[in-house]
Amino acid sequence: MTLAHRALFTWFIVLVFLILLCLRLDPRTHWSWFVTFIPLWVFDGILIIYVVIKIIRKWRNLKRLKELLIYYQWYICGVLLKIASQLMICLRLEYPQWEISIFVTMIPIWILLSASIVYVFGRLNKIESW
């Protein structure tokens, strides 16, 4: 897939999610929060498939799996943390009687944001002129 296709696909997913979120926040619908997040679950599924395909394509060139997992550690951690963040938000909003602490809910998001900051900062250091 070219960058334009991937960008338009991501755009479509975000658009559908925002429409569902607006419908859920306005008192028009009473869907489960897990249903509202369906576009993001679909996106996560495709992200997982994308990462698996990338690993398998490299694995065919007789590289060791451990090396590949280390090579793609940012991708794998990012996808897993994104799924964990969404899951925690859905659980917190859907089941308020469970009284999940907001700090526990936020932990995956904080880790994801911190890791992203470190990653972008590392990339920024490599670029001489920005």
Of 11 and 59, nearer to another protein (C-beta) is 11
The residues in 1-40 that bind another protein, with binding defined as CB under 8 A, are 2-4, 6-8, 10-11, 14-15, 18, 21-23, 25-26
22: tokens are: 């607006």
- Report the residue from 61, 98, 99, 124 that binds another protein according to the rule CB under 8 A: 124
DSSP 60: T
The residues in 49-108 that bind another protein, with binding defined as CB under 8 A, are 50, 101-103, 105-106
Closest CA to 107 of 79, 88, 80: 88
- Please state the closest distance from residue 14 (CB atom) to another protein, in A: 7
Of 38 and 66, nearer to another protein (C-beta) is 38
Distance CA 107, CA 84 (A): 9
Distance CA 80, CA 76 (A): 6
